[in-house]
Amino acid sequence: MFGLLRHLFKLQFLFVVAAVLAGVYRTEIKQFLRRHTDDYLDTTDRDAGVPVAFQTGDEVGTLFTQAELAHFNGEDGRPLYLALLGSVFDVSRGIKHYGSGCSYNFFVGRDASVSFISGDFESYDPETSDDVLTLKPDDLIGLAGWRDFYQKDYVYKGRLVGRFYDATGAPTNYHHKFLELLQQARDAKRQVEELRARYPGCNIEWSEERGTRVWCTTTSGDGKERSWIGHPRKLYSRGNKSFQCACVPDSELDEIDAAGRTVHGDAMLKPYDNCEPRAQECFYRV
């Protein structure tokens, strides 16, 4: 008899513990159930404001429409979400930066990836705000860096249906093109860094009378003494009109200039206009 009562009390105690845990972890339990039942439920009658969960690989997130993302604007106690390159992040803990009236509130509830580069926080056009393929290669690298920052410092929530992800959460052709251009930009940056390490920078000065003067010495660039002086050449990043001055040793000059003539506009090292090929100083005006 007493043994039966002990079993009943033990069973009752377990029910109490289960009830307490269910109350404490109610949100986590709901999220777990939702993640594991969404594939088998008819979601057509869901409220318009509730996004549809999806899973891709090992990463679980939520699919947002633009209207759903705009709902998470911090009003009426709602969290603060923003999207960057189609990825959605909860930035609520950065409310002093993203809250109403704060400097980065412009980004909340939308994907304004281009503005991370342009700095235009005034005008928002949903048709172009995340169209990043026209940006410079270095800007694409910068955007990828921003996304890594949000991935590290804030909570990833899911994906925005639109330019980067389709209605199933799969990357679009646009997204693949972005990744292709991003890789090209990274490769070009690595090439430039290798060339900078190989060819030191020039000395540079400007005067109103003569414009910009660049010249090479045995210590120009990093300030370390070397056995050769070199000749100024314009060092470009591919896809970028801006350049830096690099000093090229005499022994490599003919080969570099010949290669530049072969690839035409895609050359990374080019001679200065109106400057002798083996001059140690050149002048130019912007």
The pLDDT value given to residue 262: 56
Token code pair at residue 59: 């990463």
Classify residue 69 by burial, with Cβ atoms within 10 Å: 0-12, 13-18, 19+. Answer: buried
189-218: average pLDDT = 92
**Which residues have CB under 8 Å from 133's CB, separation 6+?**
174, 177, 178, 181
Q: Is residue 10 part of a domain?
A: no
Q: Is residue 37 part of a domain?
A: no
- Give the residue numbers spanning the domain of 153: 47-187
Same domain? For 121 and 208 the reply is no
Number of neighbouring beta carbons within 10 Å of residue 38: 13
The CATH number that applies at residue 124 is 3.10.120.10
Single pTM value for the model: 0.68
Same domain? For 212 and 117 the reply is no
Mean per-residue pLDDT of the chain: 82
Same domain? For 217 and 86 the reply is no
Q: Is residue 4 part of a domain?
A: no
Same domain? For 244 and 148 the reply is no
Same domain? For 182 and 204 the reply is no
Of 121, 145, 146, 116, residue with least CA distance to 131? 116
Q: Is residue 179 part of a domain?
A: yes
Whether residue 147 contacts residue 154, with contact meaning beta carbons closer than 8 Å, is answered with no
Same domain? For 142 and 222 the reply is no
Same domain? For 61 and 159 the reply is yes
Q: Write out pLDDT tens, residues 149-187.
A: 999 999 999 999 999 999 999 999 999 999 999 999 999
Domain count, the chain: 2
Order of strands across the sheet that contains 231-236: 243-248, 231-236, 269-270
74-88: average pLDDT = 96
Q: Write out pLDDT tens, residues 113-127.
A: 999 999 988 888 889
Same domain? For 151 and 229 the reply is no
Q: Is residue 17 part of a domain?
A: no
Same domain? For 66 and 183 the reply is yes
- Kindly indicate the confidence band of residue 53, based on its pLDDT and cuts at 50, 70 and 90: very low
Same domain? For 165 and 57 the reply is yes
The pLDDT value given to residue 266: 56
Q: Is residue 57 part of a domain?
A: yes
What does the DSSP 8-state code read for residue 99?
A: S
**Which residues have CB under 8 Å from 248's CB, separation 6+?**
199, 230, 231, 232, 233, 256, 269
